[in-house]
Structure 1
Amino acid sequence: SIMMKEKLKYDDFGVLIRTNSMTRHIEEAFLAENIPYRVSGGTSFFQRKEIKDIISYLRVIANPDDDVNLLRIINTPRRGIGKSSIEHITSHAKQHQTSIWDAMNQLRYAKDTLFPEKGRIDVESFITLIEYFRGEMLGKRGLAKKVRALVDNIDYWSYLVTEYNKNEKAARWKFLNIEHLIQSIETWENDPDNFDPTLFPYLNRISLITRDDDNEEAGKGKVNLMTIHASKGLEFPVVFIAGAEDGLIPHARSLEEGDGNIEEERRLFYVAITRARDKLFITSCRKRRRLQSLVECSPSPFLEEIPQHLVEYHEGEAAIETADEAADYFAQIKSKFA
């Protein structure tokens, strides 16, 4: 509505967050509303390697002839299809003007070929994996559960442990990101307004943000999502500060590291509020999920330091909980059109 009233473009908006861990929920909200965005000074949740790997699997399951995504996952996690095998497969595909998938199937059954027997076995194992999950996923419900089964089947956790053998914390963080992805799929498929919670609609849903190009629709640009640190030196006509809660702004971990950090946190908040050229919206949650429980949240104490005459408070409307309340609500709407 602000865009329409004030004739603004998407790139006139800046959404600032304290930490990169907050991006996923905001990206999901943008996704639900078809709002294009870019993540600056950090990595989009959907552009993180582990997330792109799993999405590439889903794209190949949906369309095995997708060469780009197939080459990404053909040996991730490692399954013995090494560089020489991939070169042999791609050479065969070019020679016969076919997709990588078709080339793999041809080499799988070819008798007179230089393709080694071990490579043939490894390729056959990969094809069997993809074909199995095509049968499980295409046109069927329960996508989140099946993605979790896929992650277990390819043993992505062991792959992460091997890749980050000197930093198990990083491996756990990346695997947790995959769990967050699966949870977001589950939320999407349980939406009562989602009438087709299957693989193809899901891939269509995320196509806008998972593609690598930077095309900007109709010259409207993209909303700028970034951390407060990354926003230094920038300005936007309209700024939203998300998650202005005690424990995030100021950040609890920063305060634990030293009492003097409160001033640095205050300066950082000042940076955030001064990024707005015309309008500033500061939001906070009443409750936030941490691990498996809901935690009560309180607004940032820094909000009390803003002069009251500059502040306008808004609270969300109370939820309609009874049939009588719903009837009254619709009666009020009906009266406006009488």
Structure 2
Amino acid sequence: MHPSILSDLNPQQKAAVTYNLGPLLVLAGAGSGKTKVLTHRVAYFISKGLVNAENVLLTTFTNKAAGEMRGRIIKLINQAPGFAGTFHSFCAKILRIDGKVIGIPRGFLIYDEQDQKQLIKEILEDFNLSTDAYHPAAVLSVISDAKNQMLSPNQYAEFAHGDFGETVFKVYIEYEKKLKAIGALDFDDLLLKAAALFREAPKVLAKWRQRLTHIFVDEWQDTNKVQYVLTKLLVGERENITVVGDASQSIYSWRGADFRNINYLVKDYPNIKIINLEQNYRSTKNILEAANCVIRKNISHPILKLWTKNIKGEKIKLYGARNGLDEASFVVSEIQKLINHKPLTINLSDIAVLYRTNAQSRVLEEALLHTGIPYVIVGGIKFYDRKEIKDVLAFLRILINPKDSVSKKRVEKLGVRRLEKFTEFSREVGSDSSRVNSSTTLNLLDLVIEKTGYLDLFQKESEENLARLENIKELRSVATEFPEITAFLENVALVEAGPIHESKNCVTLMTLHAAKGLEFPIV
């Protein structure tokens, strides 16, 4: 075993890393080194021969976090876990391999939120229902909640009330039919269908249990019902499960996350070992004391009493703003003081301004613009949601699956001439499926752009058009990383918002939800 695995760990961290007598729940407060504990625990188990690297499943909530954890493990023991990624990417992998057992085609498409809204909009229009009265986003939200609770349309109907509930029920049924006809799954389906596969196909479940004998889950407080069921099915009788979480850090209940999964875990695994990580390495004593005061009256879940060896630090200052404009003015004034403070050198990229909802960014943006301070909003239009990217991807998706009605609708909006050119090209390619399968993603992408004359849309010189061309150029670089078209489209569907461009010297604005897992020197 490499000595660095256990060096520099406090007693609680070391106990969590080395415990090997059954299921383990690590309740880790903010700044207590939970990522370090989880990665070192995986490395410890592999290096001690308690598990082979290929038999490890490590799941977390973003691809970025999974990549960082994987990198840390490789750095420690020069081996990578068998699978490190999100629940969704893991389930997509399972369904690609074994989904056919329950009727899911190997080449299924993954519909993102925009695709889902478009499909629901079409269904509402087919039913002659107003999309103002029944907004697609609202209908989708209810359907997603139902899926997160593992409710089929008929099961949802038992809880549906009023006209809206009845309408959602009808749309839900049609939505599922259309997804099946297209050969597509939405994000919720990735989890739901994987759970169904494990429940309905015992041999498939046995195979994956044999392959992944040790399960490690990060951010357990943010798991939903389906993820809990999936994890429990995979763990089986071996009970080789480690989860890390803190109910006080649960912020995704609006996505179906249920911090009570911590309590359910303790109930379902009576012999589970619980280790608390309460030493904070990030904050001053004053900040921790204030945080403890705020949260200690919470009775819904175990509360960790965080402490630190760090200095007392400055007392927390409270500014009572009169309104949103006054608050924004105060924030910008504080930023100006920081960047003008000599001899300290503070970059604007060191600064983040956090708020609860996106709507709160407007007054901050105006105040920053007024003072000439550059800023970037994280959670604006995601790379894969940009028009030109969605257009090109629609062409590619139709090549793979001509039944993709959402992509067809998008292509139709690009003009008759362009549609005719693409139809001619897709017929030519579609008549020879081996050509699609043997061509690289980059080759297909370039052919689509060339045959449709898509770039002609951006001939007029403007900053916006130059940005669109740059985005297509970036898409080509992604295509080189995924030569197989189905793998490319799957990656596109699963990828989160792009990373923050730290090289840009500007203030970062984002919601508290978007900030989860990130760190800034000044917040």
For the superposition of Structure 1 and Structure 2, which TM-score range results when normalised by the shorter chain?
0.3 to 0.5
Which structure would you say has the larger RCO, counting Cα contacts within 8 Å and 6 or more residues apart? 1
- TM-score scaled by structure 1? 0.38
- TM-score scaled by structure 2? 0.26
